[in-house]
């Protein structure tokens, strides 16, 4: 028997914005499928917290979203766990610089496959279940999808493509499935190869009317609103950026 509790699959949910989104939906009574690629300790810690709060309310599934067979397996396993799926949050993303003169085919495949191809085929694999439950999809876009950031052409192209898919899906899947997007601004600074120095961070904040970074809660609550509280909203991409997109 399928669960009576609605179920959301959040990709890239082991840490940062994905984890906060999962916590926010869980607090609203949803069951969560936590997708992760390599952060198994963080994913397992998160589902343990959730299952202590509400038994059998969270599970974790590993998948490399750059590989289509793994995407299909993630979809089938996510649906099988509770016998239903009501919401998909395409949060997982790869972000690092790819200057035109230096970008490789591997860079193209890694970024475009993870940020654009995976959301398409994951939705395709989940579509029957989402239609059955009159479900909702939220894609994490980026304010740089419209005004590209220097030396990140592949990332910006992938997010611009995802923005186009968001609007296209909203038309094609209505009235059964609602599809929206959220474009974060400066919420959490990038990590690893894409890490920004203090001067770069200050330059962004100086162009942000609210003059500060946002909080992961800002993104998570917007996603939860679109999934839970916005039955007449589809095809919209909401910028949650402190006004940064006004000065780009």
Catalytic positions are 155
Coil, strand or helix at 8: strand
Q: Determine the 3-state secondary structure of 184 from DSSP.
A: strand
Q: Report the C-alpha gap between 29 and 73 in whole angstroms.
A: 26
Rounded Cα–Cα distance for residues 133 and 190 (Å): 35
Nearest to 111 by CA among 144, 66, 148: 66
- Do the Cβ atoms of 184 and 219 come closer than 8 Å? yes
The first and second tokens of residue 160, run together, are 């611009």
Report CA-CA distances (Å) from 221 to 22, 27, 46, 142, 177.
10, 11, 18, 17, 20
Using CA atoms, how far apart are residues 182 and 102, in angstroms rounded to an integer?
Answer: 30
């Amino acid at each position: 028997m399928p669960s009576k509790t609605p179920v959301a699959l959040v990709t890239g949910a082991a840490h940062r914005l994905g984890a906060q989104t999962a916590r926010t939906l869980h607090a609203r009574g949803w069951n969560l499928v936590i997708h992760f690629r390599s952060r198994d300790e963080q994913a397992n810690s998160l589902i343990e917290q959730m299952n202590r709060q509400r038994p059998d309310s969270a599970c974790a599934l590993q998948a490399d979203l750059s590989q289509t067979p793994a995407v299909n397996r993630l979809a089938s396993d996510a649906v099988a766990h509770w016998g239903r799926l009501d919401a998909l949050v395409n949060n997982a993303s790869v972000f690092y610089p790819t200057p035109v003169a230096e970008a490789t085919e591997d860079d193209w495949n890694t970024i475009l496959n993870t940020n654009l191809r995976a959301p398409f085929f994951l939705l395709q694999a989940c579509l029957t279940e989402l239609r059955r439950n009159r479900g909702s999809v939220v894609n994490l876009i980026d304010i740089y999808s419209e005004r590209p950031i220097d030396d990140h052409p592949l990332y910006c192209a992938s997010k611009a493509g995802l923005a186009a898919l968001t609007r296209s899906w909203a038309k094609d899947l209505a009235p059964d499935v609602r599809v929206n997007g959220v474009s974060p601004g400066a919420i959490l600074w990038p990590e690893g190869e894409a890490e920004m120095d203090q001067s770069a961070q200050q330059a962004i904040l100086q162009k942000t009317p609210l003059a500060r970074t946002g909080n992961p809660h800002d993104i998570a609550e917007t996603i939860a609103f679109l999934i839970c509280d916005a039955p007449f909203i589809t095809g919209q991409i909401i910028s949650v950026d402190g006004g940064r997109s006004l000065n780009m």
